[in-house]
Amino acid sequence: MPIDSVPLLDVQPSPPTGGPPARVFADVGPPLFEAIREGRHRKLALQVPAGLLRNAHDLAARLRTETGLPVALVARACFGACDFPSRDEAAGADAAVVLGHSPIPNVAIPMPMYFVEMRTAGGDPGHLARIVDAAGLPKRLGIVASIQHLDLLPALTTALAAVGREVRLGTGDRRLYYAAQALGCNYTTAQSVASEVDAFLFLGTGRFHPLGLAFAVDRPVWSLDPLQGTLEPPIDRARLIARRQLLVAGVRDAARWGILVSTFAGQHRGGMAAALQARAEAHGRSAEILVFGRLDPADLEGRALDAYVNTACPRIALDDFSLYPRPMLTPPEFLMALGELPLEPYRFDTYH
């Protein structure tokens, strides 16, 4: 099947590997309430991402009213579908409502979960296509989108065709629930069409996703905010990569490494950590595996270690490294530091 004929919104990949069911809803509304009532649960846990916290208590109250169930609000900050509430955090709940994310198909969940993607229909495709055209973007464009804006893609693709653009929408691996979807740790939808396009357009808000996309693909990445109707010019990829390569070069002689492993279900790469530890030891370095839930920079203070490699969310090392007391690399960067991978081409730590 040609990549761009894959149905965008009806892709139903394999369910999570074993475990209870994950159900997906566009927003908080009657279909969600009905499904929860049918589930005959005893208690719900509700997880709300940072961007929606202001409404968290109203949402919890609405869920209580509509379902008749007690609802425990999970207070820990969450950043993705990778760190949904564990059974321990769910305060006796036997099902969870997770807002703002789609499931990660290859991550097993510990209890039935209702993923509410908080889709928005906002954005005028014709207007957005004219903005892209006026900015002179190349003819062959790949598009990836955050989950909230996927519904706009069919109409935007048609509108871009009307202004002479050929759009490619890729399919990703089993960490992605939809075609053309972007996660901050996985841009395999983009990588699958990178050789067929001259630039990428990220459809969504903020810099988090375009920044990751710029690390992952060697193409200019433009950012189109469909709600504001703004187009941001490409991120300076060469500068991003050069900064990481400099960091790698600076820790080539580091003798004592810490290898960070997260306990979050969708961020746990214990097998990779063990493999990296073996590689470090083969190169005459020591490597201690450190296990954490949510990483706090203070947890790494005062340790007799020279540098870290982080097997959890790749964006911790790439975006937050300045918060940590010692250099922190991603797993591919660690292999570069050991001399097992070349510095070029730079390899993004795609979490598969």
List of residues contacting ligand SF4 (CB under 6 A): 79-80, 82, 183-185, 266-267, 313, 315, 351
Cβ proximity to ligand SF4, 222 vs 351, nearer residue: 351
Give the Å distances, CA to CA, from 32 to 21, 29, 55, 69, 98.
14, 6, 17, 13, 12
Q: How far is the CB of 180 from ligand SF4 (least distance, A)?
A: 16
Shortest spacing between CB 321 and ligand SF4, in angstroms: 14
Smallest distance, Å, CB 106 to ligand SF4? 12
Nearest CB to ligand SF4, comparing residues 61 and 77: 77
CB of 109 to ligand SF4, least distance (A): 14
In angstroms, rounded to a whole number, what is the distance separating the alpha carbons of residues 263 and 230?
38
CB atoms inside a 10 Å sphere around CB 77: 12
Can you read off the two tokens belonging to residue 245? Answer: 């390569």
User: How wide is the angle at C-alpha 107 spanned by C-alphas 77 and 75, nearest 5°?
Assistant: 15
Q: Shortest gap between Cβ of 36 and ligand SF4 (angstroms)?
A: 24
Per-position DSSP letters for 211-242, written without gaps between them: HHHHHH-SS-EEEEETTTTEEEPPP-HHHHHH
CB 312 within 8 A of CB 264: yes
Considering the complex, what minimum distance in angstroms separates the CB of residue 309 from ligand SF4? 15
Tell me the longest C-alpha to C-alpha distance in the chain: 61
Rounded CA gap, 283 and 328, in Å?
18
DSSP H or E segment with residue 131: helix 125-134
User: In this complex, which beta carbon is closest to ligand SF4, that of residue 149 or of residue 315?
Assistant: 315
First CA to last CA across the chain, in angstroms?
23
Contact 4, 168 (CB under 8 A): yes
Closer of 101 and 168 to ligand SF4 (Cβ): 101
Nearest CA among 301, 287, 299 for reference residue 256: 287
Specify the residue, 44 or 313, whose C-beta has the smaller distance to ligand SF4: 313
Of 39 and 110, which CB lies nearer to ligand SF4 in the complex structure? 110
CB of 97 to ligand SF4, least distance (A): 18
The secondary structure element, H or E, covering residue 316 is helix 314-320
**Beta carbon nearer to ligand SF4, 209 or 285:** 209
Structure tokens at 84: 């949904």
Whether the CB-CB separation of 271 and 278 falls below 8 Å is answered with no
Nearest CB to ligand SF4, comparing residues 129 and 235: 235
DSSP code, position 193:
T
By C-beta, is 71 or 78 nearer to ligand SF4?
Answer: 78
Helix or strand holding residue 155 (H, E): helix 153-162
